[in-house]
Structure 1
Amino acid sequence: MTFLPFIVLIGAMFLMTRSAKKKQQAAAQMRDQMTPGTGVRTIGGMYATVKEVGDDTVTLEVAPGVHALFAKNSIGAVLEDAEYNRIVHGIHDDAASDTPAVPDDASSLTGTPETGPAKDDEAPKLDLGKKDEPKDGDDGKADGEAGAK
């Protein structure tokens, strides 16, 4: 009975190391998929294009004409072409996107497309809870309210 906690602990350690090994193998397999021209994201969050793959290193083009040498282990994800183009170049595949387009400015929110943006003289005035100016002899305070007269 006293050995039961130790057996459970050893079993849990075995399962954790097995899970970690699977993650390492999946990461190594992902890094093996890198070929020149593939878009990647480093573990630091930088997006780049693979230019050359070595045994332990990879040369990335971080900007046009700017190359940097990275360790293969620093590659966090190998991206599909569509995802890389969407993130880096802002190229959207409209057929695959079901999300509505967001306007660049607020003019479409203040008027209809047929009439264009609403003009200031056409917009209804909003009551912001302001009271009218006090009349002569009236300071705007109710009877009994504190304040100088």
Structure 2
Amino acid sequence: MNPTDLLLPLLLVVFVIMMFRKQKKTTQSVAQQRSQMVPGTEVMTQFGLFGRIVSVDQEENKAVLELSPGNTATVHLQALTKVVTVPAAEEDTETGTAVVPDDASSLTLGKDPHGSTDATVARDAAAPQDETPEETLKRLNRDEKKEN
């Protein structure tokens, strides 16, 4: 008997074993995640909706999520895909709650999110901080005409 004749059945057996092993790991991770999904847990759904679990009905396979204070949604348990954890750096050490900035400028400070040119970044940095909205519109329109 030729040794290459045994190679194909051996590869098939290895493939099947690996497939079952991956399925077992996936089942374990889903079971672990489901055990973490209790009322009060922050979660994300398959369609990107974030909320806090208010109640879970295992018999009906439903969970009620609080999306914002007073705003709830009922979703299927399979739609809950991820338990959201707040990074430790963003938590207030005294109260244990997440620190939320007052405005979005602190999130992009020193960053160039749109890949703008150095001239655009320098122009925005040189903009007066105490100008009125009308003055801002005039300045931006004037700058736009210069670029064209």
**TM-score interval, normalised by the smaller of the two chains:** 0.5 to 0.7
- Residues 1-149 of structure 1: matches in 2 within 5 Å? 1=3, 2-55=5-58, 56-82=61-87, 91=100, 100=109, 109-111=124-126
The equivalent of 2:136 in structure 1 is none
User: Whole-Å Cα distance in 1 between the matches of residues 57 and 23 of structure 2?
Assistant: 25
1:101 Cα deviation after fit:
5.1
RMSD between superposed Cα atoms in Å = 4.3
- Larger proportion of helix: 2
Give 5+ residue unaligned stretches, structure 2. Answer: 92-97, 113-120, 132-138, 140-145
Matched position secondary structure for 2:100: coil
Aligned residue type for 2:124: L
* Aligned residue pair count: 115
- Aligned-residue sequence identity (percent) comes to 26
Aligned residue type for 1:111: A
User: Whole-Å Cα distance in 1 between the matches of residues 31 and 66 of structure 2?
Assistant: 21
* TM-score, normalization by structure 1: 0.55
User: Whole-Å Cα distance in 1 between the matches of residues 76 and 8 of structure 2?
Assistant: 42
Which has more radius of gyration? 1
Matched position secondary structure for 1:61: strand
1:35 Cα deviation after fit:
2.2
